[in-house]
Homo-oligomer: A and B are copies of this chain.
Amino acid sequence: MSKLVIVGTVAFDAIETPFGKTDKILGGAATYIGLAASQFEVDSAIVSVVGGDFPKEYLSMLEEKGMDISALEVVEDGKTFFWSGKYHNDMNSRDTLVTELNVLADFQPVVPESYKDAEVVMLGNLHPLVQLSVIEQMKQPKLIMLDTMNFWMDNTWNDLMKVIGKVNVLTINDEEARQLTKEYSLVLAAQKIMKMGPEYVAIKKGEHGALLFYKEDIFFAPALPLEEVFDPTGAGDTFAGGFSGYLAKTGDYSFENMKNAIINGSALASFCVEKFGAEMLLKLDKEQLQHRLQQFKNLTQFDIELT
């Protein structure tokens, strides 16, 4: 088993969907990534920041899930990052209502000494310079994974390019891949991204699954067809958390094992969307995950004999 360093927001989210709305609940990229990765009982550390308003029971809960939170800085006189959004009826698009950076505005990440030798680094959505700073603090990571979003393409293009040039795996959604490369075809987009640095590109297509590109090869992980998607918030981060957590647990960074990793990520994401926020991930057990992985096998495995 390898150690896993997780960077990303730890936040309050307020979410509105056609099914209901929440007050401020636990959210943030690093939260979802950490909760998903915790399914694999890896040694993981969260590098992030919250304000004095962040409930102590949330911190305890992350610790109970096995995360090292010594690098989750608490700025006592600051406020936690807050995001609020409203999903449209088809659940495939959303409007951001509020974004308050708060303590994130001046965040200087510090990787814990005992995690500088971690093999796997999962850089969740945050300012590219924060992500870059974490890479620079690591000794000799074997696998650096990056998630990002359109906001950083719009506002910090040059910094983002620097980070993308330093990572092994980029996870990104389909529209963002198109924006990043000016290519409509995801095959062509992935080829362009691989030229920017990453050997692996995972393109997330929401309810249409995810594609993993490596050299000339492509692997596809479907999304589980659900009767109802209740709240998509955090699904992409959960996918990245399952992906990176499985790789850290197995210590095998081959393309063959990456296939298993993204199936695990997709399985965890399928739980995430069943309830508001991180509710499902918080109560998920190993047996449920195994059962869902079996569903993914049933969904995709076939037996055509080739001549």
Contact = CB atoms under 8 A, between A and B. Distances in A.
A23 to B, nearest CB: 27
A187 B294 CA distance: 18
Give the copy number.
Answer: 2
Interface residues of A, number: 38
A307 interface: yes
Given A290-B307, A307-B290, A187 B227 contact: yes
A122 interface: no
A188 B303 CA distance: 27
A286 B307 CA distance: 10
A48 to B, nearest CB: 30
A202 to B, nearest CB: 13
Interface stretch (A7-15, A30-38, A130-138, A214-222): A214-222
Interface stretch (A74-82, A101-109, A149-157, A204-212): A204-212
Interface stretch (A50-58, A140-148, A256-264): A256-264
A19 interface: no
B228 A185 contact: yes
A220 B227 contact: no
Contacts of A293: 304, 306
Given A205-B208, A263-B302, A290-B306, 6 more contacts: A90-B184, A185-B226, A187-B226, A220-B300, A260-B303, A300-B302
